Structure 1
Amino acid sequence: MNKADSISVKVCGITEAKDARFALELGADKLGFITYEKSPRKIDFEKVENIKSELSLNEEKMVAVEVEPTIEHLKKIMDQGFGVFQLHFSYDLSRDLIGQWSQLVGAENLWLAPRLPKGVSFPEDLFCYSETFLIDAYSESKFGGTGERSDWRSFSLWREKFTAKNWVLAGGISPSNISSAIEETQARHVDVNSGIEKSPGIKDLEKMTELFQKVRRII
């Protein structure tokens, strides 16, 4: 098995069935649906259901993306048939709430995405709640979706130090930097969104094709 065979790609910010279908045809491992109300890529539950039905999506392909949901809201998201739950939050959020998320969806199905200011060490007390951690670019005003590059050096250090966990690299990944991102961080899971878009929520099929071609070329 070469390196490309072991790299999984999640295409996030899906709002259209045609984009979802094309991503899967190219080899996307997972599709991300942003349910966060303030996101320009927000999708409502009815449209999620339509895409799921049209493409006969399995739960493990579907990732719900939210920011600091209440338990009540997370239960509503679970009812939509998602298999994975990617939750963004301030790194100092109450561990009691995070623990409730983990108990509700299962640590194996929870991707935790703490918003980490530059220079902040990874909060190791989160490890008991999840098996997978997503690292996105830091912004004081946004939880992901900035289109900016994340801290590749810190990602690489954490991935090497905490090998028992899964690490997902996000933040401004595009066809122009996907090769260097993987080479520099040795990431095995990447999350792409704005770097393959025409506009928020609408994918650029040429950019998406180019990105997957470059992933496959990595040896």
Structure 2
Amino acid sequence: MAHDPASGARGVKICGLTEEAGFDACITHGADWVGFVFFDRSPRCVTAAQAHALSARHTGGPARVGLFVHPDDETLARVLEGVSLDILQIYASFERATEVRARFGVPVWLSQPVSARADLPAHCPAGVERLLIEPKPPASATRPGGNAQQLDWGLMKGWMPTFPWMLAGGLNPANVAQAVAITGAPAVDVSSGVESAPGIKSPDAIARFIQNARSVTFSA
């Protein structure tokens, strides 16, 4: 089930799951979303069969999110044939995101990399359920996200979007509460920040990240 921001609890997504211990920790500690990466340049890349095997360990629970980088329709169709996904998280243009939503009928999240306040989006494209606000990758990066790069949270002070969004980039158990306090993020996304090695999640770090992400409350 997708997280409902109206519930008052901060939404938490654990992305880049590749092994059983990490997936099971997400279930145990109440993550709202679990993410599988379908991008071969990532150390967290999995096949549809691997994602299916992990997802089958627990029925119900967190929504399953598939992450794709500029995917074509053939790639999306092939993965969706192999594993049931509740959300498609993509790196693409606004127009492409809208096309994917119409073509596959699955909710779409769209990455929105930023480096300055002027980059913060004023609206969310029709057909896109949520925007992920994360740092623009360095010029030397080989992938658009998952670089453990931290956004300047201060540039988001006073930014009050009217659409669902999520904060990503460089988050970990030690800094997520501060990030939330500064940005007011209704939901957060982490991958490398809860790992003991690239692609290997730490159950203890997952538990602490979820607890700390939800420790900050805001008055009405």
- Structure 1 residue 124, shift from structure 2 partner: 4.8
Of the three residues 45, 49, 60, the one matched with 2:48 is 45
Partner of 1:204: 202
Structure 1: any 5+ residue segments left out of the alignment?
A: none
1 or 2, which has the higher helix percentage? 1
Partner of 2:3: none
Q: Distance in 1 between matches of 2:23 and 2:155?
A: 31
Q: Distance in 2 between matches of 1:15 and 1:37?
A: 13
**Equivalent pair of 2:94/2:125 in contact (CA under 8 Å):** no
**2:98 partner letter:** G
Is 1:99 aligned to residue 64 of structure 2?
no
- Structure 1 residue 19, shift from structure 2 partner: 1.0
Partner of 1:114: 112
Partner of 1:65: 67
Q: Residue by residue, what CA displacement relative to the aligned partner does 1:73-107 show, whole Å, maximum 9, x if unpaired?
A: 12222222101011013xxx472x3331121244x
Is 1:143 aligned to residue 169 of structure 2?
no
Q: Distance in 1 between matches of 2:198 and 2:40?
A: 14
Instruction: Select between 136-145 and 39-48 the one with higher mean Cα deviation.
Output: 136-145
Of the three residues 123, 127, 130, the one matched with 1:129 is 127
Partner of 1:78: 80
- Structure 1 residue 156, shift from structure 2 partner: 4.8
- Structure 1 residue 50, shift from structure 2 partner: 0.9
**Equivalent pair of 2:147/2:169 in contact (CA under 8 Å):** yes
Structure 2: any 5+ residue segments left out of the alignment?
A: 1-5
SS of equivalent residue, structure 1 residue 217: coil
Is 1:19 aligned to residue 22 of structure 2?
yes
SS of equivalent residue, structure 1 residue 39: coil
**Equivalent pair of 2:97/2:108 in contact (CA under 8 Å):** no
The share of aligned pairs that are identical, in percent, is: 26
**2:46 partner letter:** I
Instruction: Select between 32-41 and 3-12 the one with higher mean Cα deviation.
Output: 3-12
Q: CA RMSD in A?
A: 2.4
Q: 1:34 to 1:182 in 2, by over 3 A?
A: same
TM-score normalised to structure 1 length: 0.84
- Structure 1 residue 56, shift from structure 2 partner: 2.4
Q: Residue by residue, what CA displacement relative to the aligned partner does 1:37-78 show, whole Å, maximum 9, x if unpaired?
A: 1111101111111112222256x6100001010112122222
- Structure 1 residue 129, shift from structure 2 partner: 3.4
**2:135 partner letter:** A
SS of equivalent residue, structure 2 residue 171: coil
Q: Distance in 2 between matches of 1:150 and 1:206?
A: 24
